[in-house]
Each structure stands twice: as structure tokens, then as C-alpha cells.
């Protein structure tokens, strides 16, 4: 069964179309990656799925039920980890989780047990009585997750859960996602970090300007870009303006530069390596290494949009 079915979803803010006629189905049991640059429309989509925002048009179904018609059913089956932390600084960790679990109808001994389980799950049991104002960014993120999972929803949507946190908390969260999935939860994992999506997701949708521009398994997505080669050129010194200028060479689709490394996505069919190298050498660059890289989700994004995910 589809756990989430989005059909023709659109959200306009005035004249601006943030989500543009989007359709997407998520099957039970997946870890689904929702990948896109900042401003792509990911959070707007999620806010509509969680009924925080009203769609301009379109239908959203959770387990085959229209969320506007069966809002309680939708709420009980859904756990949302919002991009902006939704925790109360003046309540203890335990009180926070209990509060959210209570909103989902849990009471008494069951509420206490589930709240304890959720805190344990995110590794905050020993901080249950502490106030989040003294927590690190990563601990707050983990508490945010505990608040969303105590009621044991079938579908959990995490909106950029690892932005701005330390690597240890990040790994903890990625491991939690896998464990939740193994325990039977379907996860939608929203991120602009393609490494994370590549690491944990079984299927991916790439969203750009409110539209899904590619969807499939990682392997399927990478297989769509057989007509593009991904070159990595390492120089002795940092690149200057030549990075931009390389874009005018025939066949070059996208260029990114990071210090002394330039990455170029270029048409396989166009022989332009000589021109690329000549341009760099004419600018006095000493080339240390050239390699052709395996495509990754970043390459897919670049090839489709001509832009870098983090621009
Ligand atoms: P993402 O989560 O992918 O970074 P968002 O869904 O937050 O993107 O935003 C998509 C676009 O919609 C952005 O251009 C953003 O500025 C715009 N947007 C989001 N919320 C509002 C709002 N309440 N009013 C006007 N524009 C908005
Ligand atoms: Mg967002």
C-alpha cells in the first residue's frame, strides 16, 4: 500500500509558486530521500502533508485516506520532525516528549512508557529531567525526533534533521533513521546533503523550483546521466575566474570550484578536454591531476539543473 500519495499538489504564496503540481507516492517500508537545494519547496510540501499549510490545490492521502477528510487518522499515523525545532525550552526533555505524545492521545502509564522509550531511542534517557536550554544543538535535534516518534507513527517525515549539528549527533540521527525503518516505520528524509541521502535512502526524489525533476533508486538516477562525464581537475593553486569561463567551452554543462579543485560536468559526446586544459594552462595554472569520477546524486542534480545543490 502507498503510505503517502500526493497528487497534483500546488502551493502559491501570492503569485509565487512554491510547490508546482507535484505528484509523488511513497510505499510502506521505504526510506525515501527528498533532496533539493534551499528554497526548492521541500518544507512547504511537508507543511502541507502535516496540515500546517493548506494546499492551493491537490490531494494528499495517507494510507489511502484524504488528510482533509480524515484528519485525525492522518495525524495519528504521521510523525513530523520539523526543520525549525519545535521544543519548549522551559519544559524538561521528558515533559516535552510527554506533551507531544499527549497531543496524539496517549495517556497515563502508556504515555509514560512511550515517552521513556522515545527518549531512550534518541539516547537522552539520562537527560530526561534536564531542560533543553542547556542542550547542544545535536541533543535538541534528537529531542525534536523523540517528540515526533513517541506515538509510534507509521510514517515519519524528517525535515533537514542534521543541519548545523556535530558529526556525532549526525551519525546518531542517521543510525536512528535506520533503526526506525527496521522497526517498521516508513521514513521520508528531507535534506540538501546528498551524501546523507545517498547513504541511507532506498529511493530518492530530486525537487527543484517546486517540481520533482527526477525520481527513482540511486542506481536508476545515476544511470540516467550516461551522456555526461564528471571531471575532477586538481591544480597546484586555487582557481580564479577561469572556473566561470570554462562554462563557455562547448559541451560544458556545469562547473564548480572549491579552492584548487574544479569539477566539470560535460557532454560525453563532445571532445573538449584539450580546450579545458588549455584554458587553465593559459591562465598559468599548474595541473596536478585529472580524474573522471563516478556519478553521484550531486552529479545528477548538476546535470539536470546546471546548479550546485548548495548554491
Ligand atoms: P526548502 O524547504 O526546500 O528549502 P521552502 O519550502 O521552505 O524550501 O520554500 C520554498 C520557497 O517558498 C522559497 O522560495 C521560500 O522563500 C518560499 N516560501 C516559503 N514559505 C513562504 C511563505 N510563508 N510566504 C512566502 N514565501 C514562502
Ligand atoms: Mg526546508
Q: What is the CATH number of the domain that holds 39?
A: 3.40.50.300
Domain containing 255: what range? Answer: 227-294
3-state secondary structure of 69: coil
Given a contact cutoff of 8 angstroms between Cβ atoms, the answer to whether 8 and 211 are in contact is no
Here the cell at position 21 is 503540481
Considering the domain architecture, whether residues 171 and 276 belong to the same structural domain is answered as: no
Question: Ligand 1 within 6 A of 52 CB?
Answer: no
Say which residue the cell 537545494 belongs to.
Answer: 37
**If you take atom 14 of ligand 1, which residue's CA is the nearest one?**
39
Residue 302 lies in a domain: no
In this structure, the answer to whether residues 181 and 149 fall within a common structural domain is: yes
> Which of 32-36, 255-259, 279-283 is most confident?
32-36
Residue 133 lies in a domain: yes
Q: Kindly state if the Cβ of 13 falls inside 6 Å of ligand 1.
A: yes
Q: Are residues 244 and 104 in the same domain?
A: no
Same domain, 109 and 244: no
How many CB atoms lie under 10 A from the CB of residue 93? Answer: 28
Considering the domain architecture, whether residues 39 and 174 belong to the same structural domain is answered as yes
Q: Are 87 and 167 found together in one domain?
A: yes
> pLDDT tens-digit profile of 164-202?
888 888 898 999 999 999 999 999 999 988 889 999 999
Is residue 240's pLDDT more than 90?
A: no
Query: Which range is least confidently modeled, 132-136, 219-223, 259-263, 306-310?
Result: 306-310
Contact criterion met (CB below 8 Å) for 268 and 227: yes
- Percent of the chain with pLDDT strictly greater than 70: 99
Q: Is the pLDDT of residue 238 over 90?
A: no
Count: domains in the chain: 2
The Cα–Cα gap between 216 and 209 comes to 19
Q: Are residues 186 and 217 in the same domain?
A: yes
Closest ligand 1 atom to residue 13 Cα is 25
Kindly give the residue spans of alpha helices, DSSP state H, lying in 52-103.
Answer: 71-77, 93-103
Residue 191 in domain? yes
CA distance 195 to 127: 30
Of the three residues 221, 254, 276, the one that is the final residue of a domain is: 221
**Cβ 44 under 6 angstroms from ligand 1:** yes
| Number of continuous H segments (helices) and E segments (strands) in the chain | 11, 14
d(CA 298, CA 23): 22
Ligand 1 atom with the smallest distance to the CA of 47 is 6
Residue 311 reports pLDDT greater than 70: no
CA of 303 to the centre of ligand 2 (A): 22
Summarize the confidence of residues 152-166 as an average pLDDT. 92
* Same domain flag for 119 and 213: yes
Give 80 or 241, the one with higher predicted confidence: 80
Q: Of 199, 221, 243, which residue constitutes the final position of a domain?
A: 221
Average pLDDT over residues 122-150: 94
> 94-102, long-range: CB within 8 Å, 24+ apart, which pairs?
94/119, 94/128, 94/129, 96/132, 96/143, 96/146, 96/147, 97/143, 97/146, 97/147, 97/150, 98/150, 99/147, 100/147, 100/148, 100/150, 100/151, 101/147, 101/150, 101/151
Alpha carbon nearest to ligand 1 atom 18, residue? 18
Residue whose C-alpha is closest to residue 302's, from 22, 32, 35? 35
At 101-118, the pLDDT tens digits run 999 889 999 999 999 999
Identify whether residues 157 and 240 lie together within a single domain: no
Mean pLDDT value across the chain: 92
207 and 239 in a common domain: no
Q: Which ligand is nearest to the CA of 38?
A: 1
User: Do residues 99 and 18 both lie within one domain?
Assistant: yes
Residue 280 sits in a domain whose CATH number is 3.30.70.100
| DSSP tag of 295 | P
Amino acid at each position: 500500500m502507498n503510505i503517502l500519495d500526493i497528487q497534483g499538489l500546488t502551493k502559491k504564496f501570492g503569485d509565487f509558486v512554491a510547490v508546482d503540481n507535484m505528484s509523488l507516492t511513497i510505499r510502506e517500508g521505504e526510506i525515501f530521500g527528498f533532496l533539493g537545494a534551499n528554497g526548492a519547496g521541500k518544507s512547504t510540501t511537508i507543511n502541507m502533508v502535516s496540515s500546517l499549510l493548506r494546499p492551493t490545490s491537490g490531494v494528499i492521502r495517507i494510507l489511502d485516506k484524504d488528510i482533509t477528510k480524515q484528519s485525525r487518522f492522518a495525524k495519528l499515523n504521521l510523525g513530523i520532525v520539523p526543520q525549525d525545532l519545535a521544543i519548549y525550552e522551559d519544559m524538561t526533555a521528558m515533559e516535552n516528549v510527554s506533551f507531544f505524545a499527549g497531543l496524539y492521545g496517549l495517556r497515563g502509564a502508556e504515555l509514560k512508557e512511550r515517552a521513556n522509550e522515545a527518549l531512550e531511542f534518541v539516547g537522552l534517557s539520562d537527560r530526561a529531567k534536564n531542560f533543553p536550554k542547556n542542550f547542544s544543538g545535536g541533543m535538541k535535534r534528537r529531542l525534536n525526533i523523540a517528540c515526533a516518534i513517541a506515538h509510534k507513527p507509521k510514517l515519519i517525515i524528517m525535515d533537514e534533521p542534521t543541519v548545523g549539528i556535530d558529526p556525532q549527533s549526525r551519525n546518531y540521527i542517521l543510525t536512528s533513521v535506520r533503526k526506525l525503518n527496521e522497526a517498521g516505520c516508513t521514513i521520508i528524509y528531507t535534506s540538501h546533503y546528498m551524501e546523507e541521502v545517498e547513504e541511507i535512502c532506498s529511493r530518492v526524489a530530486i525537487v527543484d523550483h517546486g517540481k520533482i525533476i527526477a525520481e527513482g533508486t540511486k542506481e536508476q538516477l545515476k544511470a540516467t546521466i550516461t551522456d555526461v562525464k564528471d571531471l575532477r581537475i586538481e591544480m597546484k593553486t586555487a582557481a580564479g575566474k577561469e572556473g566561470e569561463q570554462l562554462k563557455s567551452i562547448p559541451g560544458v554543462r556545469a562547473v564548480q570550484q572549491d579552492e584548487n579543485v574544479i569539477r566539470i560536468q560535460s557532454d560525453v559526446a563532445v571532445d573538449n578536454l584539450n580546450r579545458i586544459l588549455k584554458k587553465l594552462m593559459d591562465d598559468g595554472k599548474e595541473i596536478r591531476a585529472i580524474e573522471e569520477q563516478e556519478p553521484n546524486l550531486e552529479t545528477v542534480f548538476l546535470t539536470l539543473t546546471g546548479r550546485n545543490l548548495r548554491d
